[in-house]
Chains A and B, each alone.
Chain A
Amino acid sequence: MSTLLRRTPLHDEHIRLGARLTDFGGWEMPLHYGSQIEEHHRVRRAAGMFDVSHMLAIDLRGPPVRAFLRRLLANDVARLVLPGKALYSCLLREDGGILDDLIVYFLTEDWFRLVVNAGTAEKDLAWILAQRDRLAPQLQVQPRRDLAMIAVQGPEARASVWRARPQTQGETENLAVFQGAHAGPLFVARTGYTGEDGFEIALPAGDAAALWRDLLTAGVAPCGLGARDTLRLEAGMNLYGQDMDESVTPLEVGLAWTVVLKDAREFIGRPGLESRMPRFQLAGLVLRDKGVLRAHQKLRSPHGAGEITSGTFSPTLGCSIALARVPLACQPGERVEVEIRDRWLPAEIVRYPFVRMGRSLLPG
């Protein structure tokens, strides 16, 4: 594997655990530690952990930070009232295309934190700095490569964190969903990318290996990016670079709920968004035959053609599921056909998420 790949502070732990490594956005990351499906089930049934240190935290500091973020982001940080509260948002180009999706945390009135995707981190940082120079030159923008991040997910995740770090329980046991708090050197947030309860923990890179080992001792299973992908897809969450990119708008990929248009707020990308008619919608698909749905497979519906953007075998449901771009007229319950190796196989459009908190949300 190329020596040019970047490594996280937990790299030695992955090697020690026998991880199969893969290139993900320029980072050498665990794909799995033996069985991707077993890791998936551990998260749905107990607790698993993911090294997500390849993602980048960017701290924004200074009095104009809230006003700046109301311009920068398609979601509205005015919704963040309690310190520690988090919000999911898209970062848009002027024309409404999606530069990235991110989580923004309100820490104090002059300190917010963004957590952005690994593959887009440099692009995002350059964009944010350019907007800072234009709109709020006194604002400090600080990329936090000194931090590691561990996501602990599953019905037993929070209790496992408290077993591994009892001193954090007082600060974190009353956290609402999408809320975080500092607990000593840790920043612990009740967020994730799996459709399960759990925490995402940011901490100094030098402390990461010790926490990882203590979580292992507390019974948390190490999980790779393979399980992370099947879990997020079951949970109906988009993956940047796959379900969305700069060529589409949030309104075309199921993220209208993250775009606040109700008042006159002038955020970057709003005029572009308002001048573009959505061309398609993102739909959930369940394959009603044998096989596996995959990205880029073609689809035909009574209303026209479409294409799968993410597809996999769902370990929880025991069948294949996908997210797909389909004509705007398509409705849940409709039958479509997907081309798999020169054959057109039946699939059904369904509402997503497919799975939430360990349970199937499929009809019937």
Chain B
Amino acid sequence: MTVPTELKYTDSHEWARLEPDGSVTVGITHHAQDRLGDLVYVENPAPGKSFRKGQECGVVESVKAASDIYAPLSGEITAVNDELSASPEKINQDAYAAWMFKLKPSDPGELDALLDAAGYERLIASEE
């Protein structure tokens, strides 16, 4: 699967999308779900909570392993995708549609420091 060019990426395999209203939507990449295998549990951050960039803010667990989710940007959580608590497999089905949470960035400039699609593809290739 190709890496969507309209998104930004972290080296811990989250994707981030800047929305027209200035908020940022976050999920995990197709590559991440592929390495984890069938997901069985998603723990999202509580709305209203604030995190610094790189801070642990959630967990996804597959049949194989648990993996921490890190905030790609500093900011306050404004919404979480509740559908995932009952149907974590939606991430396996389409990792870029099954978003995990939205945050309001406290420093939108941090977005520029994230990887673009080409950079993320190089990261995946180096980890293979």
A37 CA to B93 CA, complexed, in Å:
13
* Interchain residue pairs A-B with the least CB separation, the first 3: A313-B40, A37-B38, A292-B61
Q: Which residues of A contact B38 (CB under 8 A)?
A: 35-38
A294 CA to B66 CA, complexed, in Å:
9
Known: A35-B92, A37-B63. A292 touches B41 (CB 8 A): yes
Q: Does A63 contact B (CB under 8 A)?
A: no
Contact for B43 among A35, A290, A294, CB less than 8 A:
A290
Q: Does B37 contact A (CB under 8 A)?
A: yes
Contact for B63 among A20, A312, A341, CB less than 8 A:
A312
A294 CA to B61 CA, complexed, in Å:
11
Most buried by A among B37, B38, B41: B38
Q: Mark B42-82, 1 if CB is under 8 A from A, else 0.
A: 01000000000000000101011010000000000000000
Residues on B lying within 8 angstroms of A by beta carbon are: 37-38, 40-41, 43, 59, 61, 63-64, 66, 85, 89, 92
In the assembled complex, how far is the CB of residue B78 from the closest CB belonging to chain A, in whole angstroms?
23
Query: Which residue in chain A gives the minimum CB-CB distance to B41?
Result: A292
Contact for A36 among B41, B61, B63, B85, CB less than 8 A:
B63
Contact for A313 among B41, B43, B92, CB less than 8 A:
B41
Query: Which residue in chain B gives the minimum CB-CB distance to A37?
Result: B38
**Total contacting residues, chain A, CB less than 8 A:** 17
Q: Does A32 contact B (CB under 8 A)?
A: yes
Q: Does A230 contact B (CB under 8 A)?
A: yes
Specify the main secondary structure of chain A where it touches its partner. Answer: mixed
A291 CA to B43 CA, complexed, in Å:
8
Q: Mark A321-336, 1 if CB is under 8 A from B, else 0.
A: 0000000000000000
In the assembled complex, how far is the CB of residue B38 from the closest CB belonging to chain A, in whole angstroms?
4
Asked if A292 and B43 make an inter-chain contact with CB atoms under 8 angstroms apart, the answer reads no
Contact for B37 among A226, A315, A341, CB less than 8 A:
A226
- 29 A-B residue pairings within 8 Å (CB atoms): A32-B37, A35-B38, A35-B92, A36-B38, A36-B63, A36-B64, A37-B38, A37-B40, A37-B63, A37-B89, A226-B37, A226-B63, A226-B64, A230-B63, A290-B43, A290-B85, A291-B43, A291-B61, A292-B41, A292-B61, A292-B66, A294-B66, A312-B63, A313-B41, A313-B61, A313-B63, A315-B63, A341-B59, A341-B66
Asked if A36 and B66 make an inter-chain contact with CB atoms under 8 angstroms apart, the answer reads no
In the assembled complex, how far is the CB of residue B25 from the closest CB belonging to chain A, in whole angstroms?
23
Most buried by B among A35, A291, A292, A312: A292
In the assembled complex, how far is the CB of residue B60 from the closest CB belonging to chain A, in whole angstroms?
10
Q: Which residues of B contact A291 (CB under 8 A)?
A: 41, 43, 61
A31 CA to B65 CA, complexed, in Å:
13
A230 CA to B40 CA, complexed, in Å:
13
Query: Which residue in chain B gives the minimum CB-CB distance to A318?
Result: B40
Q: Which residues of A contact B63 (CB under 8 A)?
A: 36-37, 226, 230, 312-313, 315
Q: Which residues of B contact A230 (CB under 8 A)?
A: 63
A35 CA to B64 CA, complexed, in Å:
12
A292 CA to B61 CA, complexed, in Å:
7
Q: Which residues of B contact A36 (CB under 8 A)?
A: 37-38, 63-64
In the assembled complex, how far is the CB of residue B59 from the closest CB belonging to chain A, in whole angstroms?
7
Near B by CB (< 8 A), chain A positions 29-49 give: 31-32, 35-38
Q: Mark A26-70, 1 if CB is under 8 A from B, else 0.
A: 000001100111100000000000000000000000000000000
In the assembled complex, how far is the CB of residue A20 from the closest CB belonging to chain B, in whole angstroms?
8
Q: Which residues of A contact B61 (CB under 8 A)?
A: 291-292, 313
